[in-house]
Amino acid sequence: MQEYLLLLRTSLKIWFSSTFKSKSKKKIIGTIFAYLALLAFAVFWTILSANLFKDLIALFPAGSEIFIEKSILTVAQLLALGTILFLFLTGLRILYEYLYESQDVSFLLATPLQVENIFAAKLTECLGLIFLSISFMTLTPFIGLGIAFKAGFFYYLSTIISFLAGFVIFGSIAALLLLLIMRFVPGQKLKQILMSLTLIMGLVIVFVSQMFSSNMMNMTEEDIINALSGFSDLGINKMSFLPHVWMAKSSVATLPNSQINFWANFIPLVVISALVFWFTTKLSAKLYLSGWSSGQETDSPKKKRAKSNAKNKEEKRLSRVGSPFGAMLKKEMLYLKREPMMWYQIAVGLIVLGFFAFNNARIQSQSGVTGSIPPDFINQSVNLFMILLFAGLSGPTVAGLALSREGKNWRFMQSLPVEPRTVYWSKFIFGYLPCLLEGLIGVAVFHYIKIEMFPLYITIPTIAISLAALISVDLWTDIYFPNFNIKIGSSKSQEGAGKILLVNLAMMPIILLLGATFSFQWWYSKVGIFSALSPEVAKAIGLGVFAFETIGVFIISSTTSINRLKLLFTGAVDAKGA
């Protein structure tokens, strides 16, 4: 126990020092800003959840306390079950990285510390990180539930403890599975499997949430009550032996006037969590070291071969293809094919776009919208803007890290006989093609569902030109502020996620500006200085300024990016991690 607490205290000190005592003020400010943003989102989600629960309570007539508690318990169990599924399926990859890929594991295993204490400390650290990372989304609805019922302090305390216990149970089970799997499955292969499961789970969550939102749009009060009763009739309220039921009941039992026995659910939850954690820790004494070492031995030859063949492969690409540009483009296309996060981003965008189009088509069919000119133009502009928005937001994931993803290969690339212009245009195509593909698929979906759209000879060029401008800006941000320390696809690489988030936030005003310019003929009459313009003149001005903006942004971003690349290639300016 003493070694376990010592490791936890040391990890906490290292985290606090690296986060809040860094020599870089920029890093400290960025970290504080990120935590404040998460806190603001948690507050927003809590208030929204409280209002939703208040509306749900208001659906029931007076004297329906039993049905209200039954419905609230059903919702709580669904939320708890969703939290556990999210932890179990998406947290496996994070557990693997912390338990088997952390740089300090090799050092710790070489010390006299007991293996089970090292494993327990790393597991606790990882579960704590996952809890903090997703609690602002999964725990806040329960906080909102307490606000809606005006619950006391004991409700919030018991809810937090119940969620922590649930995390420990399923996190320990996930770690136990990893201990057993690492005995038989190579580390790199397991990492690929976990990455695939994470992305598939993410797509399922997006699809289910969009389908649920789509169905909720047309539900009446009676439909909502019947749906909750239907979930209750499935029997999930009666499965008292399931941990997620204990989590939900331990929380709901402390609400005012609740009839649920708190201790009958809270005590088994806490006891089982302690036993599962203890059992997993004890078993790690026999399995953790052998699994970690076998994973290192399996992956090391592959890594050595990859490093020794990297330069030879690069030179072969240059020799096979007739021009340096062809070789660079072929390399980027190979990256494109092997980038799962990029395809995941496109799939998410297409799912959301598809449901947006489906909901719009259903609303139009129910309302019987006529073909009058103003509504048509507004709907056409909004639909075009939505396609451009989702296709453009995929850019930071690809083009926003196009140069940084070179990593340690950047020094080698500097020695290649290629021009900066060649590198730029190959990187541009690398980021542009997937976004253009997403935009074109979105156009096809909208036309197939028969959503109001501009003619194709207007829609396709507009999307192509706008995306070219947006991607050039994404690439510009990475060329001017590259970071070759970023690990693509690693959950521990907070720099990559932070950079994508910042680029996304920076792109939103540009997308809004392009949309406002394109739709100038819609809103110009509401502005005093433009109200005297005729519709034809307003249309000409809007399209002219739109073309000037997109082409101007594209030319300026491309020119300055190429000039910056020249400085990077000569070493006049350096980049982080180069």
Between the CA of residue 481 and those of 90, 274, 512, what are the distances in Å? 30, 47, 24
Distance CA(342)–CA(335), nearest Å, equals 10
**371: confidence class by pLDDT, cuts 50, 70, 90:** very low
Six token digits for residue 162: 């119940």
Which tops the pLDDT comparison, 188 or 317? 188
Between the CA of residue 494 and those of 34, 64, 137, 402, 478, what are the distances in Å? 11, 48, 19, 17, 16
Distance CA(174)–CA(196), nearest Å, equals 16
295-313 pLDDT, tens digit per residue, is 555 444 555 555 555 555 5
Distance CA(236)–CA(239), nearest Å, equals 5
Residue type, 168: V
Task: Tell which residue, 232, 3, 269, has the closest CA to residue 116.
Answer: 3
**562: confidence class by pLDDT, cuts 50, 70, 90:** very high
**191: confidence class by pLDDT, cuts 50, 70, 90:** low
Which tops the pLDDT comparison, 336 or 363? 336
Residues 6+ apart with CB under 8 A from 242: none
End-to-end Cα, the chain, rounded Å: 42
Q: Beta partners for 576?
A: 483
**560: confidence class by pLDDT, cuts 50, 70, 90:** very high
Give the mean pLDDT of 355-370: 67
Distance CA(552)–CA(405), nearest Å, equals 27
Quick check: helix, strand or coil at residue 576? strand
Computed on alpha carbons and rounded to an integer, the radius of gyration of the chain in Å comes to 27
405-415 pLDDT, tens digit per residue, is 887 778 888 78
Distance CA(121)–CA(437), nearest Å, equals 45
Between the CA of residue 183 and those of 138, 286, 295, what are the distances in Å? 33, 11, 8
Residue-level pLDDT at 209? 66
Task: Tell which residue, 410, 191, 185, 169, has the closest CA to residue 271.
Answer: 169
CB 327 within 8 A of CB 317: yes
CB 251 within 8 A of CB 159: yes
Is this model's pTM higher than 0.95 or not? no
Q: Beta partners for 483?
A: 576
Give the mean pLDDT of 257-264: 85
Locate all alpha helices (DSSP H) within 101-220, ordered by sequence. Answer: 105-109, 115-138, 140-149, 153-181, 187-216
CB 446 within 8 A of CB 387: yes
Distance CA(204)–CA(178), nearest Å, equals 23
Residues 6+ apart with CB under 8 A from 463: 384, 387, 388, 391, 436, 439, 440, 443
Distance CA(551)–CA(557), nearest Å, equals 10
